[in-house]
């Protein structure tokens, strides 16, 4: 029973993190119909930028007000979004709208390759450590175990991000415009919607969410080359399980994968590396389009 509780808590923490790193991917796919292989790289850029920014914050007297480092993390993510988002979307991706999905995947694969090395050029290959934000909140006792409070902050952020994305899309005027574009791009254009702007905003939001995931993660890990590769694979599994383009699906997919991984860590450690793909394959066998699938229009 205790083991069950441990698996559940670990699973939720990991699931929350997974949701944050994958929700941007599903959002971008939902609006732009592009599966962004560079999503993991954007996450890594967010992590590196945060590592540098938080490092600088503490180097220049942030010790007096350590909680301010959280603001620095968010600012770093915003910075990444407004610099890289429009650059990638306007400069490259927009030429591939409405073309073959797989071709667009390859384009983002190219972006992934480029960003990997650009990061090495900027930040080198040595790892960065910014543990301060992670230790700041101390730890909490849950039953017989101690958890770092920061882990629960991740859960809180995941919930806030999820609700915020849901609210913006379903309850605001801008969100309705986005839904209209998703539903029928040509028609929205004819109705006077600036589709270009919707795409740019959606992509920037996706970049922000990826970078935010990186920013949140930076204090928990050693930021080094290769972190993007693992994240992109995880995020893919999550959004495919949930159904490409579905925010609710990403949330459920993240929790499913999180709990599955926690269970595997505690019960069957050998399977940890591939349990996620097993879950994904199992879901797809029964629901080929993922848990939440888009309805398809009649073709003939």
Residues that bind other proteins (CB under 8 A): 35, 92, 95, 101-103, 105-107, 109-118, 120-121, 125, 229, 233, 236-237, 240, 244, 270-274, 277-278, 280-281, 284-285, 288-289, 299-300
Q: Of 4 and 109, which has the nearer Cβ to other proteins? A: 109
Q: Of 78 and 271, which has the nearer Cβ to other proteins? A: 271
**Distance in angstroms (rounded) separating the CA atoms of residues 163 and 289:** 24
Nearest distance from C-beta of residue 97 to other proteins, angstroms: 14
Nearest distance from C-beta of residue 227 to other proteins, angstroms: 14
User: Among 242, 200, 1, which Cα is nearest to 87's?
Assistant: 200
Nearest distance from C-beta of residue 105 to other proteins, angstroms: 7
Q: Of 144 and 288, which has the nearer Cβ to other proteins? A: 288
Q: 247-267 vs 275-286: helix axis angle to the nearest 10?
A: 130
Nearest distance from C-beta of residue 109 to other proteins, angstroms: 6
Q: Of 93 and 157, which has the nearer Cβ to other proteins? A: 93
Nearest distance from C-beta of residue 34 to other proteins, angstroms: 10
Q: Of 72 and 115, which has the nearer Cβ to other proteins? A: 115
Q: Of 60 and 286, which has the nearer Cβ to other proteins? A: 286
SS3 sequence, the chain? CHHHHHHHHHHHHHHHHHHHHHHHHHHHHHHHCCCCCCHHHHHHHHHHHHHHHHHHHHHCCHHHCCCHHHHHHHHHHHHHHHHHHHHHHHHCHHHHCCCCHHHHHHHHHHHHHHHHHHHHHHHCCCCECCCHHHHCCCEEEECCEEEEHHHHHHHHHHHHHHHHHHHHHHHCHHHHHHHHHHHCHHHHHHCCCCHHHHHHHHHHHHHHHHHHHHHHHHHHCCECCCHHHHHHHHHHHHHHHHCCCCHHHHHHHHHHHHHHHHHHHHHCHHHCCCHHHHHHHHHHHHCCCCCCCCCCCCCC
Nearest distance from C-beta of residue 229 to other proteins, angstroms: 7
Nearest distance from C-beta of residue 21 to other proteins, angstroms: 16
Q: Of 36 and 50, which has the nearer Cβ to other proteins? A: 36
């Amino acid at each position: 029973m205790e083991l069950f509780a441990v698996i559940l808590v670990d699973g939720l923490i990991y699931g929350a993190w997974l949701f944050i790193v994958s929700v941007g991917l599903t959002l971008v796919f939902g609006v732009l119909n592009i599966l962004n292989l560079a999503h993991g790289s954007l996450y890594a850029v967010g992590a590196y930028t945060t590592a540098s920014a938080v490092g600088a914050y503490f180097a220049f007297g942030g010790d007096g007000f350590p909680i301010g480092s959280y603001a620095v993390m968010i600012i770093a993510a915003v910075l990444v979004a407004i610099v890289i988002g429009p650059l990638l979307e306007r400069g490259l991706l927009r030429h591939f709208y409405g073309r073959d999905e797989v071709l667009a995947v390859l384009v983002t694969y190219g972006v992934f390759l480029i960003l990997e090395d650009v990061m090495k050029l900027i930040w080198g290959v040595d790892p960065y450590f910014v543990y301060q934000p992670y230790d700041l909140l101390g730890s909490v006792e849950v039953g017989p175990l101690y958890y770092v409070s920061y882990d629960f902050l991740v859960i809180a952020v995941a919930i806030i991000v999820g609700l915020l994305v849901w609210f913006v899309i379903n309850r605001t005027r801008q969100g309705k415009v986005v839904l209209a574009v998703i539903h029928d791009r040509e028609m929205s254009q004819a109705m006077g919607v600036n589709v270009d702007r919707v795409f740019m905003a959606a992509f920037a939001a996706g970049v922000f969410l990826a970078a935010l995931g990186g920013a949140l993660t930076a204090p928990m890990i050693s930021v080094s080359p290769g972190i993007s590769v693992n994240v992109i694979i995880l995020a893919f599994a999550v959004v495919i399980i949930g159904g490409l383009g579905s925010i609710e699906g990403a949330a459920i997919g993240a929790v499913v994968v999180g709990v599955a991984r926690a269970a595997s860590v505690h019960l069957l450690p050998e399977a940890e590396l591939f349990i996620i793909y097993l879950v994904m394959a199992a879901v797809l066998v029964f629901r080929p389009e993922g848990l939440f699938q888009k309805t398809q229009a009649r073709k003939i």
